Amino acid sequence: MSVRHRGRAIEKIAVIGSGQIGPDIALFFTKVFAPYGTKTVVVDVSEEALARGRAKLEKKIAKGVETGAFTPGQQSAMLEHVTFTSDYDAVRGANWVVEAATEDRALKGRIFAQVEDLVADDAILASNSSHLEPEVIFAQARRKERTLVIHYFFPAE
């Protein structure tokens, strides 16, 4: 089962970056899409950032159960549908990728170069950036028509 948007199945969403805002973006996606069976994967090169990000997400979901925002069943579904990993291969097959790395043009470029080799030609590639223009971030992208810049406010959920 997956959610469909404009005829396109969204079965996996990847969030690149488990720093300040990446886990909140992942929380938003898992909250919205887990009921449809869509997986969310968070990728970061730092195991420490991944551990902090997962703890942050789990704490916010638990708080949601305490306040009645989520049922225990929703909590289980969200936790079951989100993964934190340092393995970039986990991005493979994602229909939607949101990069939430540091505001560094070269870093963002390297991330998207790596990601483009792992996803289908019609996967949506988005950068969470507060000041870098799309022309800069996606200068080396092979298929620019599927790229966009978004700007989540902190916290993102």
**The two three-digit tokens of residue 58, written as one number:** 């789990």
Q: Which tens digits make up the pLDDT trace of 73-94?
A: 999 999 999 999 999 999 999 9
The DSSP output letter for 109 is H
Is there a contact between 55 and 26 (Cβ–Cβ < 8 Å)? Answer: no
> What CATH architecture applies to the domain 3-150?
3-Layer(aba) Sandwich (3.40)
Domain ranges in the chain are: 3-150
Strands 96-99 and 12-16: parallel
Say if residue 58's pLDDT is above 60.
yes
pLDDT of residue 43: 98
pLDDT tens-place string over residues 107-157: 888 888 889 989 988 899 998 877 777 666 667 778 877 778 888 766 555
Residue pair 53/42 in contact (Cβ under 8 Å)? The answer is yes
